[in-house]
Amino acid sequence: MIVETGHFALVLALAVALVQSLVPLWGAAQGDVALQRVAAPAALMQFALVTVAFLALIWAYLTSDFSVQNVVENSHSAKPLIYKISAVWGNHEGSMLLWVFILALFGAAAAVVGQDMPLRQRANTLAAQGWISTAFLLFILLTSNPFARLDPAPLEGRDLNPILQDPGLAIHPPLLYIGYVGFSIAFSFAAGALLSGRIDAAWARWTRPWLLVAWIFLTLGIAMGSYWAYYELGWGGFWFWDPVENASLMPWLSGTALLHSIIVMEKRDALKVWTLFLAIVSFSLSLLGTFLVRSGVLTSVHAFATDPARGVFILGILIVFIGGSLALYAWRAPMLKQGGLFAPISREGALVLNNLFLSAATATVFVGTLYPLALEATTGEKISVGAPFFNLTFGPLFLALLMIVPFGQSLAWKRGDLAAVAQRLVAAGVVALVAGALVWAYASGGSAVAALGAALSVFVIVGSFIELASRAWRSGGGLGLALRRAAGLPLSAWGTAMAHAGLGVTLLGLSATWWGAEKILTAKAGETLEIAGYQIKVDALTPRSGSNYTEMVAPMQVFRDGVKIATIEPSKRNYTTRKMPTTEAGIATIGLGQVYVALADESTPGEIGMRLYWKPLVLLIWIGSLVMSLGGALSLADRRLRIGVARRAAPRAAVPAE
């Protein structure tokens, strides 16, 4: 019964979403207040219904209801509780339901928070949110129903794909989807603004917190996915420039550009039309990401069995939304009042440069990801575009962007003084050069790339905080005053510095990969191996079993100069239900670096084949992402950014809703 209730709730949600997409729009066009007021309750209602459906599916998983096909295919009664829940979104149907659930959540939140907005704009925005809901609810109900029943019901389920049975993957999709779907709000705000023909600094203030939330979660989601791939796939890599990864990187890049351009719009009332364009592009790229992952048109290492019919449907959604929104943009954008031009040497000029580099970087990733598809469709030739391509195109653009980050951050609005900024950054430059030289000396015969990367990352980190320091440190103040001043700086300034420093931290982790070590070898029990100054004593293979798998573990002890510092247990697992083997890497974290061991199949008895890595500073790659997200959160916490505060501060004039 509960399962049918879930299905029925989803159908009702579709009906409500249809009302939400059409009625407020008509109301806005006719100037009918009552019709426009339908938008908010409809968004809340839709959220309630989708929640019921989502909970119903979770319930089916928790109770291992094997009359539901989706549960049979992805669950097993012996599976640990956390994976029963995460299995809900560890498959196509369930993950689309999660997508719609988050979409409805954002819609409802926008309905509640957006009460300060002019009624007309709010009605248009929520209607746009309704269109997206309608499309995806239709998609679920017509092609991917998670509530389909099986008759007769099997006694046991087929279990979740073993590599998804991991805490990292339990939270990766929700994080990523909050990021993807969060951009839908920026999209709807843009569509609402285009429909209303009204766009100003207030629009930027309304949109920016939503954008920040989406960006924070997307950053965390990408980092989580990358760390998961690193430790779970046993390849020792963390980013493969695979289409599915690129699909999440593209909205992140354009979203980052949007986050910067919207600041210019808020502060200087400029770049309006461009910002709207980026809002449309960011969500379009999120949709494209969903399409690439769900349709299987691209060969990806992360591909799961896919269904072409669904791909065609999502392609349809893609064409309607991207085509439709760009058409709306082409039609309405010229009618918007353009903002003014400004001096190239200024904070806003630097932000434009940031946008140029980020857009160009997005474009290179886009070309590298989709060119093989276009080529195959037109000529039938099959190519793959991998890391060398992206290192050569995306790499230089992004490094150039990082070079200008500290400059941009330190330039003043309207008219900046580049010479003064350069003078302030001399200290950062010196520290960076010293760091680069140290790396060059330490990794003797090491790559110049590593030294340059390290120097650049140190420049970005130090440069990010120099601006704060120079604002806090006034001559004759003394340290106490400077600290008090620093504490008194707006949270958004701290947020900016943190986010930029995080970027530097990640780059430092990436640069360190150049001086790591890697060995492929075969060892016998009792043997001691050596990598980068660490000794690894290999014990005999021992069998072990978990609740739904058996494994062969090769316990190893890691020593440094005769002192034992860690024990690791790399293993080869075999998940009994699916008869699927997985490699569980053994990882010893030493400071910020890791000793990483992945086992091979046992070929000759008594011999253990393995791949051994020393990965210095590798954790910085993900710590940097966390720092970036923290920066975003600080910026979000800044009260000055909230529209309500500005309004409350202003004298309350009676403003009737249009």
Q: Which is nearer to another protein, 49 or 257 (CB)?
A: 257
Among 533, 591, 601, 654, binds another protein (CB under 8 A): 601
Strands 580-584 and 542-545: unpaired
- 59 lies in the site for another protein, by CB under 8 A: no
Based on the shown chain and the rule CB under 8 A, indicate whether residue 581 belongs to the binding site for another protein: yes
Examine residue 342 and tell whether it contacts another protein (CB under 8 A): yes
Matching residue, tokens 């979203």: 255
- Identify which of residues 330 and 383 has a Cβ nearer to another protein in the complex: 383
Determine, following the binding rule CB under 8 A, whether residue 149 of this chain makes contact with another protein. Answer: no
In the complex, minimum distance from the CB of residue 364 to another protein, in angstroms, rounded to a whole number = 6
If one asks whether residue 361 binds another protein (CB under 8 A), the answer comes out as yes
Rounded (10°) CA dihedral 510, 514, 517, 519: 100
Structure tokens at 311: 């791909």
Residue 546 in the binding site for another protein (CB under 8 A)? no
Among 303, 449, 517, 552, binds another protein (CB under 8 A): 303
Closest CA to 463 of 395, 397, 403, 398: 403
- Looking at the DSSP bridge assignments, the partners of residue 567 are 557
Q: Which CB atom, from 114 or from 221, has the smaller least distance to another protein?
A: 221
How many CB atoms are closer than 10 A to CB 522?
Answer: 12
Q: Is 270 helix (H, G, I), strand (E, B) or coil?
A: coil
User: Given candidates 491, 580, 592, 637, which one binds another protein under the rule CB under 8 A?
Assistant: 580
- Of 394 and 622, nearer to another protein (C-beta) is 394
Asked whether the beta carbons of 33 and 119 are under 8 A apart, the reply is: yes
Under the binding rule (CB under 8 A), the answer on residue 341 touching another protein is: yes
Q: Which of 186, 257, 352, 636 binds another protein (CB under 8 A)?
A: 352
SS3 559: strand
* x-marked contacts with another protein along 504-543 as a string, rule CB under 8 A: ----------------xxx---------------------
Which of residues 385 and 432 has its CB atom nearest to another protein in the complex?
Answer: 385
Rounded Cα gap, residues 276 and 189, in angstroms = 9
Give 234 or 632: the residue with its C-beta nearer to another protein. Answer: 234
Count of residues near another protein by CB under 8 A: 59
Residue 363 binds another protein (CB under 8 A): yes
Cite the DSSP H helix spans in 233-242. none
* Binding span for another protein by CB under 8 A among 21-29, 179-187, 595-603, 613-621: 595-603
Q: Out of 334, 381, 444, 605, name the contact with another protein by CB under 8 A.
A: 381
Looking at residue 238, what DSSP letter applies? S
Token couple for 462: 């130090």
Report the greatest alpha carbon distance in the chain: 84
User: In the complex, what is the shortest distance from the CB of residue 53 to another protein, in angstroms, rounded to a whole number?
Assistant: 25
- In contact, 381 and 375? CB cutoff 8 Å: yes
Residue 585 near another protein by CB under 8 A: no
Q: Are 41 and 51 in contact (CB under 8 A)?
A: no
When asked if residue 552 is in the footprint of another protein (CB under 8 A), the reply is no
Report which residue type is found at 441. A
Would you give the binding string for another protein spanning residues 72-91, x where CB under 8 A is met? -x------------------
* 382 or 652: CB nearest another protein: 382
Q: What's the token pair of residue 142?
A: 């017509």
Q: Using CA atoms, how far apart are residues 27 and 121, in angstroms rounded to an integer?
A: 11
Residues 214-243 that bind another protein (CB under 8 A): 233-234
Identified binder of another protein from the candidate list 203, 357, 459, 613, rule CB under 8 A = 357
Rounded to whole angstroms, what are the CA distances from 360 to 32, 171, 243, 253, 354? 44, 31, 18, 10, 10
Q: Does 148 bind another protein (CB under 8 A)?
A: no
556 near another protein, rule: CB under 8 A: no
Q: Which stretch binds another protein (CB under 8 A): 191-199, 248-256, 293-301, 420-428?
A: 293-301
Residue from 167, 324, 344, 478 touching another protein (CB under 8 A): that is 344
Residue 600 near another protein by CB under 8 A:
yes
3-state SS string over 298-366?
A: CCCCCCCCCCHHHHHHHHHHHHHHHHHHHHHHHHHHHHCCCCCCCCCCCHHHHHHHHHHHHHHHHHHHH
Whether the Cβ atoms of residue 226 and residue 235 lie closer than 8 Å to each other? no
Please give the residues from 441 up to 500 whose contact with another protein meets the rule CB under 8 A. none
Give the number of C-alpha atoms closer than 13 A to the C-alpha of residue 497, restricted to the C-beta side: 18
Edge to edge, the sheet with strand 517-524 lists 517-524, 607-615, 593-599, 586-590
Least distance (Å) between residue 598 CB and another protein: 6
User: Among residues 396, 478, 546, 644, which is the contact residue for another protein, using CB under 8 A?
Assistant: 396
Q: Is 273 a residue that touches another protein (CB under 8 A)?
A: no
CB 409 within 8 A of CB 463: yes
Q: Does 250 bind another protein (CB under 8 A)?
A: no
The residue whose two tokens read 């209607």 is 127
**What gap in Å lies between CA 498 and CA 637, rounded to an integer?**
14
- Find the binder of another protein among 82, 309, 356, 448 (CB under 8 A): 356
CA 343 to each of CA 27, 274, 348, 351: distance values in angstroms, whole numbers, following the listed order: 42, 17, 8, 12
Would you count residue 605 as binding another protein (CB under 8 A)? no
Residue 371 interacts with another protein (CB under 8 A): yes or no: yes
- If one asks whether residue 393 binds another protein (CB under 8 A), the answer comes out as yes
Q: How far apart are CA 540 and CA 56, in angstroms?
A: 47
Binding site for another protein (CB under 8 A): 73, 158, 161, 163, 233-234, 296, 299, 301-305, 341-344, 349, 352-353, 356-357, 360-361, 363-364, 367-368, 371-372, 381-386, 388-389, 392-393, 396-397, 520-522, 578, 580-583, 598-601, 603-604, 609-611
